[in-house]
Amino acid sequence: MLDTSLALYAFPLSAIMLLYLRGRHAEEKRSLAAREEAAAAGLTQPASLHPVINLDRCMGCGSCIAACPEGEIIGLIDGKAELIEPSHCIGHGACKTACPFDAINLVFGTAERGVDIPNVGSDFQTNVPGIYIAGELGGMGLIRNAIEQGRQSLAAIAASKRLRVAGRYDVVIIGAGPAGFSASLAAMERGMTYLTIEQDSLGGTVAHFPRGKLVMTQPATLPMIGKVNFRETTKEALLGFWEKVMADTGVKVNFQEQVNEIVPIGAKGTGFEIRTTAGTYQASNVLLAIGRRGTPRKLGVPGEDLSKVVYRLVDASQYAGRHVLVVGGGDSAIEAAVSIAEEPGSTVTLSYRGDSFNRSKLKNRQNLDAAIASNRLTVHYKSSVKKIAAHSVDLTTEQGPLVLQNDAVIVCAGGILPTGFLKSIGVEIETKYGDE
């Protein structure tokens, strides 16, 4: 009788175990393929904060994989967790929290490639007293973390003694992305005198995501509003929410104003003078809530100041029926060119100074090849822009000069890191090579 009972239990348990092992094998196969694809594209280096997994402690439970909201960033290989899509990791940190074996540490940079990080203390203050950093510039690009840092950094500024000086703002906040907007609300909530300056539009980097892009975030506490329970939403919905908050609260931001210089006031640096494209201001404290990409890298050619030249793709549909030149060799350039090529009546040319796109994601290269094969897109390798005119663009190519009919130019050449700006105001920069 006992043997019969054991047999009755053994069969379903064996079936469950078999299904588990098959699933595990399939998962490892997917992880290996993803790792190999990333390696083939040269995308093996994380951009910023990322997990390092202690294989001696890792038990392969998969909690980190399930916790990551960004997709298959971590996978299982040989029964151990491994970062398989390093370039896609945004430093969410949920993997570390979820690991029951304390096998994950979050670090900046790798042994092969260092990451420049400003010297910032636990109170968000840099080595320059009165200058604070929050959000992406300090390595925290996640929206929720940036919102929290904006709020917390203002609490630290409010607790300092550098306030209430006649003729000065308590704080000038530079940047109106998630960190800067949160900090602005916190300053208003605390009754501080503040000025927020944004060189572009509300939302900072988020505002320039492609139209319809899904934004992953977590619940966060927004000053004057309370808990915000966004989980997965579109860029447009998130910006719409922020615009409503701005209207409801009356928080003020100086848009389309760029900071040129920050200089200390007096020998002891008890305050700062902030010089911008619109004027000069004085403040007791400065909060830098700008992105790590700084300002877009420009081509430096005649005609680049024409209104038809932009530095990111927001909505491909606006280029339907137009002649478009995309400049660049990264994933953003390929994605922009391919998406515009799908619009009816568009004519798209992609100009790249290199001879191949081997450092782009495999899927993007495949999409590019398909667009080229269907005559929807033309690529000029080893080419560069010589001049931009109202209705044309001059290229220099291996075959000689080339003049293209043109209605719009999209330059995807990355950004100029703000390292020089930080050093000019005395903020120390430390290069991290996988250090905790």
Contact (Cβ atoms closer than 8 angstroms) between residue 292 and residue 180: no
Helix axes 143-159, 178-189, angle to 10 degrees: 40
Model pLDDT, residue 243: 92
Average pLDDT over residues 208-233: 72
CA 98 to chain centre: 23
For residues 171 and 248, membership in a common domain is answered with: yes
All residues at 6 or more sequence positions from 250 whose CB lies less than 8 Å from its CB, including other chains = 188
Q: Which two tokens mark 129?
A: 């007293």
| CATH number, residue 129 | 3.50.50.60
If asked whether residues 62 and 129 sit together in one domain, one would say no
Question: Is 285 within 8 Å of 131 (Cβ atoms)?
Answer: yes
Give Cβ neighbours of residue 375 (< 8 Å, ≥ 6 apart): none
Number of H helices, E strands in the chain: 9, 26
Domain contains 303: no
Decide if 281 is inside a domain: yes
Look-up: residue for tokens 């350039």?
Answer: 333
Residue-level pLDDT at 68: 84
| 139/283 same-domain check | yes
38 and 143 both lie in a single domain: no
The pLDDT-based confidence of 431 (bands split at 50, 70, 90) is confident
Does residue 231 lie within any of the structural domains? yes
Higher-scoring residue by pLDDT: 29, 215:
29
On the question of pLDDT at 143 being above 60, the answer is: yes
Instruction: Tell me what the mean pLDDT of segment 175-192 comes to.
Output: 94
194 pLDDT higher than 60: yes
Same domain, 316 and 397: yes
Question: If you search the block for the tokens 């083939």, which residue do you land on?
Answer: 40
> What is the pLDDT, as a whole number, of residue 25?
73
CA dihedral angle for residue 388, residue 392, residue 393, residue 395, rounded to 10 degrees:
-140
In a domain, 270, yes or no: yes
Residues 6+ apart with CB under 8 A from 368: 334, 337, 338, 350, 357, 360, 377, 379
pLDDT more than 90, % of the chain: 46
Please report, to the nearest 10 degrees, the dihedral formed by the alpha carbons of residues 172, 174, 176, 178 taken in order.
-100
Residue 304, in any domain of the structure: no
DSSP for residue 372: H
Number of C-beta neighbours around residue 227 at 10 A: 8
Residue 233 pLDDT greater than 90, yes or no: no
> Which one has a higher pLDDT value, 111 or 326?
326
CA R_g for the chain: 25
Whether 300 maps to a domain, the answer reads no
What is the maximal distance between C-alpha atoms in the chain?
Answer: 93
Residue 39 domain boundaries = 2-107
Task: Give the pLDDT confidence score for residue 211 in this predicted structure.
Answer: 65
Number of domain units in the chain: 3
**Mean pLDDT along residues 161-185:** 92
What span, in angstroms and rounded, lies between the C-alpha atoms of 29 and 37? 12
Residue 2 has pLDDT above 60, yes or no: no
Q: Is 67 left (phi over 0), alpha (psi -120 to 50) or beta?
A: alpha
On whether both 44 and 160 belong to a single domain, the answer is no
**Residue 44: how many other CB atoms lie within 10 Å:** 16
User: Residues 250, 324: one domain?
Assistant: no
Q: Which residue's entry shows tokens 């209605």?
A: 407
Token readout for 40 is 């083939």
How confident is the model over 267-276, as a mean pLDDT? Answer: 87
Q: Label the pairing between strands 214-216 and 194-197.
A: unpaired
pLDDT, averaged across the chain: 86
Task: Dump pLDDT digits (tens) for 359-398.
Answer: 777 788 889 999 999 999 999 999 999 999 999 999 999 9
Residue range 76-86, pLDDT digits in tens? 888 899 998 88
Identify whether residues 225 and 243 lie together within a single domain.
yes
Lowest mean pLDDT among 83-87, 195-199, 301-305, 317-321: 83-87
**Residue 424 sits in the same domain as residue 403:** no
**Of 107, 130, 151, which one is at a domain's C-terminal end?**
107
Distances from the Cα of 206 to the Cα of 65, 182, 222, 250, 314, angstroms: 25, 14, 17, 21, 11
Q: In this predicted model, what pLDDT tens digit does every residue of 310-339 receive, in sequence order?
A: 988 878 899 999 999 999 988 889 989 999
Residue 261 has φ and ψ, to the nearest 5°, of: -145, 150
For residue 173, give the H/E element and its range: strand 169-174
CATH number for the domain including 8? 3.30.70.20
Cα 419 from Cα 137, distance rounded (Å) = 10
31 lies in the same domain as 97: yes
Of the residues 58, 78, 107, which one is the last residue of a structural domain?
107
Strand 271-276 with 384-388, pairing: unpaired
Q: Is 256 exposed, middle or buried (0-12, 13-18, 19+ CB in 10 A)?
A: exposed
- pLDDT band at residue 110, thresholds of 50, 70 and 90? confident
pLDDT at residue 20, rounded to an integer: 64
The rounded distance, in Å, linking the Cα atoms of 31 and 74 is 8
Q: Cα(415)–Cα(306) distance, rounded to whole angstroms?
A: 19
More confident residue, 436 or 236: 236
- Is 91 within 8 Å of 135 (Cβ atoms)? no
Domain-embedded: residue 302: no
Q: Are 324 and 347 in contact (CB under 8 A)?
A: yes
Query: What pLDDT, on the 0 to 100 scale, is given for residue 432?
Result: 80
